[in-house]
Amino acid sequence: MAERAGSEGGDLAEARIDAIRDAGLVETRRAQILDASLQLFLKKGYAAVTIREICAASGVNQASLYDYIANKQDILRRLLNRLWFARDIEGLADRLAADPAPVSEVLRAYYAENWKTNRDAILLAYRSVPHLTPEDRKLLREREERVIRELSARLAERTGALEEDPRVRTVSNFLIYLNAFGPFRDWLMRDGEEDVMLEMVGAAVDAMVARLG
Amino acid sequence: MAERAGSEGGDLAEARIDAIRDAGLVETRRAQILDASLQLFLKKGYAAVTIREICAASGVNQASLYDYIANKQDILRRLLNRLWFARDIEGLADRLAADPAPVSEVLRAYYAENWKTNRDAILLAYRSVPHLTPEDRKLLREREERVIRELSARLAERTGALEEDPRVRTVSNFLIYLNAFGPFRDWLMRDGEEDVMLEMVGAAVDAMVARLG
DNA sequence: ATAGCGTCCTGACAATCGTCAGGTGGGCCA
DNA sequence: TGGCCCACCTGACGATTGTCAGGACGCTAT
């Protein structure tokens, strides 16, 4: 009924289509479609983008498009699976578990690395929420909850705070929100201020983490 | 050519319509239309909401609607003027100038008061950006820039940092972003954690402000 | 060369969109 | 009571939407 990506499950259901036999071709064309769609969705918003625009930008014929994706919603779901559900924000928890450096340093390093990479994923996910079905929205939320829970566990472990302490959960939530600072504000931030941004965000993170001790 | 709201200018152009004589009635109907539209825009996103839905929700006839607003874009512009441009985030700078309490306390008090009030304005503005004309987008950005500039001036004044210091600008930007934390994450935060949230955010703000000294 | 098959594309569908012309009705003033 | 003005509404317009049936095309194997 639905193909599943390689991850541990929990991602959005992707329709199966078997009109085209050549699996490699399917992959190629789907990549074209998804790449073009992402650009357009980010620029104009999901609902304002037409199938015809996607076809023009991806070079896929309007009828052929439906040999590779089931419908417009299916494009969004595949994009979110590719960007959001496969995104390595969960790596933050793993890194806290593995890296013996001080918590605040681990966090700073993480932000410095991921700030720009996650940009598209964050913007697409936050802005697409209204266009998702309730079930898909639920899955998005559950993934966030899971990430926050893992992060909380590592954070408690490293700072000595209790995992049930609501402050731990709040800080976790906050750390993830901080990761979206760059993407959401880059219509205002100028180039070259990124190091300043990191320094100040780092200071904020330090303070919050210190409170947990 | 365009009505102007009472504020100091810089808001979005609203079309003038003179089909209806009774000014009070115009105000009433427009309020109905804008209230209904806001709910729908927040729930489904601007592009996905139809005029027919707005009419059904507001109780205004589909043809009569155009006696009170010029077109769909006009609704969004009026909403942003009412919510975003009239929003009192600028009050943060004023408050910093007037309140002799420590900077961090002033900030905490501000967040505590405005967290929920600005919710709709923030979500609508952030999510509507793709549906605005380039000119309107420019006005949104200019307003943010202005707010940040004023905030930077007060912040420099109070902390002794130089106004040209890029860290000041970054912290200002950050303070405004923080104001959107609640709205953006309330699909995850549970009720009753607001005080915890404020405590941790407060600690973060303290740390950043201290760095400016 | 020809048959067979898998991909691509022309062209169109029903539905829905934003918008509005033009008629209707009811209340107010003479 | 009659006329008029003004807000309301019916009904429809052209355009655009997501979707797809069915034919055209090109390749490969014989």
Rg (CA), chain A: 19
Cβ separation A45–B130 shorter than 8 A:
yes
**pLDDT of res. A21:** 93
Q: Is the predicted pLDDT of residue A116 greater than 60, yes or no?
A: yes
A142: closest CA among A12, A6, A1?
A12
pLDDT in tens, A45-96: 999 999 999 999 999 999 999 999 999 999 999 999 999 888 766 678 999 9
A150: closest CA among A137, A177, A169, A126?
A169
B179 vs A1, more confident: B179
| Chain A residue with minimum CA distance to B192 | A166
Query: Region A152-165: what's the mean pLDDT?
Result: 91
Pairing of β B14-15 and β B2-3: antiparallel
Please enumerate in sequence order all residues whose Cβ is within 8 A of that of A112, keeping only pairs 6 or more positions apart, or say none: A198
Q: Is the predicted pLDDT of residue A189 greater than 90, yes or no?
A: no
Residue entry with tokens 């100091």 = B8
B94 vs A115, more confident: B94
pTM: 0.90
Cβ separation A189–B200 shorter than 8 A:
no
Chain A residues interacting with chain B (CB cutoff of 8 angstroms): 42-48, 126-127, 129-131, 141, 144-145, 148, 166-167, 169-171, 173-174, 177, 180-181, 184-185, 187-189, 193, 196-197, 199-201, 203-208, 210-211
Cβ separation A187–B44 shorter than 8 A:
no
Other Cβ atoms within 10 Å of B176 Cβ, number: 18
Chain A hits for B129, Cβ within 8 Å = 187
SS (H, E, C) chain B: CEECCCCCCCCCCEECCCCCCCHHHHHHHHHHHHHHHHHHHHHHCHHHCCHHHHHHHHCCCCCHHHHCCCCHHHHHHHHHHHHHHCCHHHHHHHHHHHCCCCHHHHHHHHHHHHCCCCHHHHHHHHHHHHHCCHHHHHHHHHHHHHHHHHHHHHHHHHHCCCCCCHHHHHHHHHHHHHCCHHHHHCCCCCCCCHHHHHHHHHHHHHHHHHHHC
**pLDDT of res. A101:** 93
- Angle formed by the axes of helices A103-114 and A194-212, nearest 10°: 150
Cβ separation A173–B185 shorter than 8 A:
yes
Chain B residues interacting with chain A (CB cutoff of 8 angstroms): 42-48, 126-127, 129-131, 141, 144-145, 148, 166-167, 169-171, 173-174, 177, 180-181, 184-185, 187-189, 193, 196-197, 199-201, 203-208, 210-211
**pLDDT of res. A86:** 82
Positive or negative, the CA dihedral B38, B44, B46, B48 is negative
Structure tokens given for B79: 């909403």
**pLDDT of res. A198:** 82
Per-residue confidence in pLDDT tens, chain B, 213 aa: 333 333 344 599 999 998 999 999 999 999 999 999 999 999 999 999 999 999 999 999 999 999 999 999 999 999 999 998 887 666 889 999 999 998 888 988 888 888 778 889 989 998 999 999 999 999 998 998 899 899 999 999 999 999 888 889 888 888 888 888 877 877 776 666 778 888 888 888 888 888 887
Q: How far is the CA of A4 from the C1' of D9 (A)?
A: 52
B12, B23, B34, B184 from B80: Cα distances, Å: 8, 21, 10, 18
Pairing of β A2-3 and β A14-15: antiparallel
CA distance A31 to chain B (A): 24
Please enumerate in sequence order all residues whose Cβ is within 8 A of that of A12, keeping only pairs 6 or more positions apart, or say none: A77, A78, A80, A81, A85, A136, A139
pLDDT in tens, A176-185: 888 888 778 7
Cβ separation A200–B185 shorter than 8 A:
no
pLDDT band with cut points at 50, 70 and 90 for residue A37: very high
- Angle formed by the axes of helices A166-178 and A194-212, nearest 10°: 170
CA distance B58 to chain A (A): 21
3-state secondary structure of A20: coil
Distance CA A191, CA A186 (A): 9
Q: Is the predicted pLDDT of residue A31 greater than 90, yes or no?
A: yes
**pLDDT of res. A90:** 67
Query: Region A20-24: what's the mean pLDDT?
Result: 94
A10 vs B213, more confident: B213
H or E element, residue A185: helix A181-185
Q: What is the mean pLDDT of chain A?
A: 87
